[in-house]
Amino acid sequence: MREKSLTFSSDPTTPMRGALRLLATAIGAGALVAGLSLVSPAAPADAAITPAAVASTPVASTTAAAVTGYDASELMSAEVMFYPGTMTQAAIQQFLQDKNPSCTGALCLKNFTVTTPTKVKNDLCAQYTGVTDEKASAIIYKVAQACGVNPQLLLTVLQKEQSLVTTTAPTAATYAKATGYACSDTAVCDPYYSGFFMQVISAARAMYSTTASPFTFPVGTATTIAYNPSPACGGITLTLKNKATAALYSYTPYAANPALLAGNADTCSVAGNVNLVSTFTSWFGNPVLSPSIKSYVNAAYNDVLGRTVSSPEVVRQTRSIMNGTSRDTLSFSFLSSTEFRTAFVKATYRSVLGREAEPQGVINWVARMAAGTANQDDLTATFIATPEYYKNEGHGTDVGYVTALYSTILHRAPDAGGLGRWVAKVQATEDGRASVALGIWRSNESSKIRTAAAYTQFLGAGRVARDSEQQAWATKIAKTGYYKAVAGIIASAEYLNNAVKKYPQAQ
């Protein structure tokens, strides 16, 4: 069975076509993937259910499991749908090969080629430059880039409609209606949209064309979505959360009915959107980004890297956490990134040496940290041990040097006993200054001070670290290093809660 939706011309000069098409509802029966179950239709995939049939056909049950983890008001996040950078052409080609290794022959999607036309730029897509004998993976990739649509979504639609990704027996007819665009089970497909290229680019354009469809659904306002083409089947009132969900309903304008969600699909059940979400989830992860994690990613980019996160970064990092990466791991990846280290080296030049860094000096220190020949945790102490610091801040004397160390690291003057002991250590060996700088820098007192500073920086200006917290993190710093500890602070539930409040627009 296929659901219907209005078709759109792929050329701005071609009149909009009014043919309706019904999208395939079935991918497979009873499979449970990532908390979301695939459902099988009550009727064969190619049997359209007409209003008359609905009225006269008894309710049919299936053995499909109940659908879980499915929010009919948010099928996909807009950031996911409109992010074309999820896969390269090479990645798409590898995906097709991995998903269908046993398929042989020219009609297998991984092997399929077709000569594509050049399509000029219009309001929906950039220009597409045609190629002779172009591979399917190249078409999917280039359409995604031209139209600003996630290639993962296009792969999912191809699977939902014709099982093109996994079928071992594709036919020319399968490619003619690859995305179900401008096709109906009760009439011949519109020949203008026939063929793999036209099907793929038309489906991509349709994600932006919801305003021209008779199945237009508003975002943020309650609207009724039918369960089936038959009015007798009824519908549900939903408040759609974003334009991506509205686009998917415009493309496949039916909601899952209670029988379908309970695992007992009947003649009113249309499973197209459920199967799209479940297939996407199985292959690529949840298509709906967690609002709280989006807030967290927004906050981490601002607090650690000092800039606004881009939409592609929001998608990539949010889905990374949703797919199992810990906040600890993500925050430490920021703190050990080239971007952070570059800013850190420049700031250390200013705070320790009182001057701007030479460009090559920054490059060299960042390279050394990446190679492991310079310790990021101790870089400040390394700078403090330089002759430049000794001369400028220590005034060229050992007493002045130790006094400056106390001021820079511990923010206080040295006591008489401490001053004498550290001066003696400076004078004891050839690398005395480096040894003393590292000793004071790694001291428990220094670690507690740096913990308190991290609390203020990442948990809020009014957040004062309690003595017990300072000591707990100082102990962790001694075991794992400073930036591992800072990553833990950024990964904390307290930081996450603050992020949700700070970036409510991500909710």
pLDDT at 16 over 50: no
Domains parsed from the chain with CATH numbers: 338-495 (1.10.3130.20)
The answer to whether residue 157 scores a pLDDT higher than 50 is: yes
Kindly tell me the burial class for residue 411, based on how many C-beta atoms sit within 10 Å of its own C-beta (0-12, 13-18, 19 or more).
Answer: exposed
Query: Does 1 score more than 70 pLDDT?
Result: no
Q: Examine the pLDDT at 30 and tell me if it is beyond 80.
A: no
SS3 211: helix
The Cα diameter of the chain in Å comes to 100
pLDDT of 208 reads 81
Q: Grade residue 215 by pLDDT with cuts at 50, 70 and 90.
A: low
- Which residues on neighbouring strands pair with residue 36, listed in sequence order? 33
Q: What's the one-letter identity of residue 206?
A: A
Give, as one character, the DSSP assignment of residue 506.
G
Closest among 65, 21, 63 to 274, alpha carbons compared: 65
From 110, 256, 89, select the one nearest 170 (Cα to Cα): 110
- pLDDT above 70 (res 37): no
Would you place residue 394 in the very low, low, confident or very high pLDDT band (cuts 50, 70, 90)?
A: very high
Residue by residue, DSSP assigns 84-107 as GGG--HHHHHHHHHHH-TT--STT
- Tell me, what's the pLDDT at 171? 95
pLDDT tens sequence across 158-170:
999 999 999 999 9
* Average pLDDT estimate for 50-60: 26
Residue 325 has pLDDT above 70, yes or no: yes
Region 326-342 average pLDDT: 97
Q: What is the pLDDT of residue 67?
A: 75
Residue 59 has pLDDT above 50, yes or no: no
**pLDDT above 60 (res 48):** no
Q: pLDDT digit string (tens) for 491-504?
A: 999 999 999 999 98
How many Å apart are CA 307 and CA 77, to the nearest integer? 23
Question: What's the average model confidence in pLDDT over 113-121?
Answer: 97
Residue 220 buriedness (CB in 10 A; 0-12 / 13-18 / 19+): exposed
Q: How many other C-beta atoms lie within 10 A of the C-beta of residue 388?
A: 14
Residue 288 CA to residue 245 CA, distance in Å, equals 10
Cβ-based burial of 167 (10 A; exposed 0-12, middle 13-18, buried ≥19): middle
pLDDT in tens, 424-445: 999 998 899 999 999 999 999 9
Confidence of residue 65 (pLDDT cuts 50, 70, 90): low
Predicted confidence band of residue 209 (pLDDT cuts 50, 70, 90): low
User: How far is CA 412 from each of CA 196, 392, 402, 403, 446, rounded to the nearest angstrom?
Assistant: 73, 18, 11, 9, 11
Model pTM? 0.76
Flag whether pLDDT at 34 surpasses 80: no
- Residues 226-231 have a mean pLDDT of 92
Share of the chain above pLDDT 70, in %: 84
How much of the chain, in percent, has pLDDT values that exceed 90? Answer: 78
Contacts of 330 (CB under 8 A, 6+ apart): 300, 317, 320, 321, 491
Q: What is the rounded distance in angstroms from the CA atom of residue 443 to the CA atom of residue 374?
A: 19
Choose the weakest-confidence range: 13-22, 86-95, 318-327, 396-405.
Answer: 13-22
User: What confidence score (pLDDT) does residue 252 get?
Assistant: 87
Q: How far apart are CA 393 and CA 385, in angstroms?
A: 11
**Mean pLDDT across the chain, nearest whole number?**
86
In angstroms, the CA 426 to CA 92 distance is 60
Torsion of CA 477, 483, 486, 492, to 10 degrees: -100
Q: Is pLDDT above 60 for 457? A: yes
Q: What is the pLDDT, as a whole number, of residue 68?
A: 75
Among 255, 189, 202, residue whose Cα is nearest residue 227: 255
